[in-house]
């Protein structure tokens, strides 16, 4: 059995926390999810799983895009 020194547990907790935050319409969920994606990517590197690496880097980039696009609208000073 391979040990990932708790990174797998951290990634799982970050992913669930991010889903909870996004369900509550909190933009912070994207940041938490990006941290989870980086943890999953590290595990993919460790496990030599190119699919896991590519998928999580793709998810990471989608979360960056969502974080930027979900910015609060600019306030219009009248």
How high is the pLDDT of residue 78? 58
How high is the pLDDT of residue 77? 64
How high is the pLDDT of residue 15? 98
Q: How many C-alpha atoms does 67 have within 13 Å on its Cβ side?
A: 15
Number of domains in the chain: 1
On whether the CB atoms of residues 7 and 42 are closer than 8 A, the answer is yes
- Residue 11 within any structural domain of the chain: yes
How far apart, in whole angstroms, are the C-alpha atoms of residue 64 and residue 21?
Answer: 16
- Residue 78 within any structural domain of the chain: no
Predicted TM-score (pTM) of this structure: 0.89
How far apart, in whole angstroms, are the C-alpha atoms of residue 34 and residue 23?
Answer: 16
On whether the CB atoms of residues 22 and 29 are closer than 8 A, the answer is yes
Radius of gyration of the chain (CA): 15
Nearest 5 degrees, angle CA 57-CA 42-CA 19?
Answer: 60
Residue ranges in the chain whose pLDDT is less than 50: none
Domain that holds residue 14: 7-69
- Residue 38 within any structural domain of the chain: yes
- Residue 75 within any structural domain of the chain: no
């Amino acid at each position: 059995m391979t040990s990932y020194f708790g990174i797998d547990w951290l990634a799982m907790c970050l992913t669930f926390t991010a889903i909870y935050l996004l369900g509550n319409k909190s933009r912070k969920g994207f940041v938490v999810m990006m941290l989870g994606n980086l943890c999953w990517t590290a595990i993919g590197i460790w496990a030599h799983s190119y699919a896991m690496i590519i998928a999580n880097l793709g998810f990471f980039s989608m979360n960056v895009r969502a974080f930027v696009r979900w910015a609060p609208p600019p306030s219009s000073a009248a």
